[in-house]
């Protein structure tokens, strides 16, 4: 059976390991162990996501585009994987018996930046597409109504078309999230692990992983999404914990699927 990586000829054919849905619990347990080894480091790094989220919410509300908060929050999950790069470096260091600080992890991430930038551009395009679709859906269901938070909360959610609007929006968002996850799930940790890998090859490997084991990978993506949403609900405070948890767990998922890299 031909594969995407073989067709593109951008790099060696990956040597896949077999994983099951139950393995995701192991990845989370290993992530918890990583956090316990460097709790303050993880808390400080995760807290930065909380602060950035507050700043973005304040900017959106100040701009009078409160109704855009929902798609923007969904979009956050599309690109948040890029912020896990230092966490991947820390997890790799723990595998080697090293204790790495965030500044050191950022320094060690530098060789991967050119390739990661290409993946970041791809994810940004997905994010912009999702925001445009969200605005289009809003216009289709509610015409030229104002996009303030007050209007959204009072009029939109209580209107007769609220249910189909939210249903269609959720479906479109799920499709976009699947696309982003397929592009980045293994591409980002692979580029951290092997900086010389071509970005196209890294993304092809990631897509191939989802195509080979869709049940396991989509289930894992849903788990990461749930962890992230759980951190966003209490005024984004939980991101201080859930971002490091998801970041470390994603590294261990990569290691389980590709023990030798690609």
Domain ranges of the chain: 18-257
For 105-127, b where at least 16 C-beta lie within 10 A, e where not — what string? beebbeebeebbebbbebbeebb
At 137-177, the pLDDT tens digits run: 877 877 766 555 556 666 666 777 778 888 888 898 889 88
| pLDDT at residue 145, as a whole number | 63
Higher pLDDT, 118 or 52: 118
Closest to 87 (Cα-Cα) out of 260, 252, 214: 252
The structure's pTM equals: 0.86
Residues 235, 236, 241, 244, Cα dihedral to 10°: 170
Q: Which of 38-47, 53-62, 170-179 has the lowest mean pLDDT?
A: 53-62
Closest to 81 (Cα-Cα) out of 169, 172, 191: 191
As a whole number of Å, the end-to-end CA separation of the chain is 18
Whether 130 and 172 have beta carbons less than 8 Å apart is answered as yes
Distance from C-alpha of 135 to C-alpha of 140, rounded to nearest angstrom: 9
Higher pLDDT, 180 or 134: 180
Q: pLDDT grade, residue 261 (50/70/90)?
A: low
């Amino acid at each position: 059976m031909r594969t995407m990586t073989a067709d593109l000829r951008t790099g060696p054919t990956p040597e896949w390991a077999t994983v099951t849905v139950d393995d995701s619990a192991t990845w989370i347990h290993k992530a918890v162990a990583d956090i316990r080894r460097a709790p303050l480091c993880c808390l400080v790094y995760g807290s930065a996501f909380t602060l950035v989220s507050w700043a973005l919410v304040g900017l959106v509300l100040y701009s009078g585009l409160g109704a855009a908060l929902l798609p923007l929050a969904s979009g956050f999950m599309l690109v948040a994987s890029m912020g896990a790069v230092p966490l991947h470096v820390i997890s790799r260091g723990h595998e080697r018996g090293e204790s790495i600080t965030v500044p050191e992890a950022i320094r060690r991430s530098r060789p991967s930046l050119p390739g990661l930038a290409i993946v970041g551009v791809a994810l940004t395009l997905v994010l912009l597409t999702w925001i445009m679709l969200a605005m289009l859906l809003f216009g289709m269901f509610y015409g030229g109504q104002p996009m303030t938070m007050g209007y959204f909360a009072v009029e939109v959610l209580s209107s007769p078309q609220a249910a189909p609007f939210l249903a269609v929006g959720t479906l479109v968002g799920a499709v976009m999230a699947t696309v982003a996850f397929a592009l980045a799930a293994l591409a980002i940790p692979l580029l951290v692990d092997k900086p010389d890998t071509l970005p196209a090859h890294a993304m092809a490997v990631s897509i191939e992983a989802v195509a080979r084991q869709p049940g396991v990978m989509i289930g894992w993506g849903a788990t990461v999404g749930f962890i992230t949403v759980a951190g966003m609900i209490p005024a984004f405070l939980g991101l201080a914990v859930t971002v490091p948890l998801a970041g470390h767990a994603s590294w261990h998922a990569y290691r389980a699927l590709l023990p030798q890299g690609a």
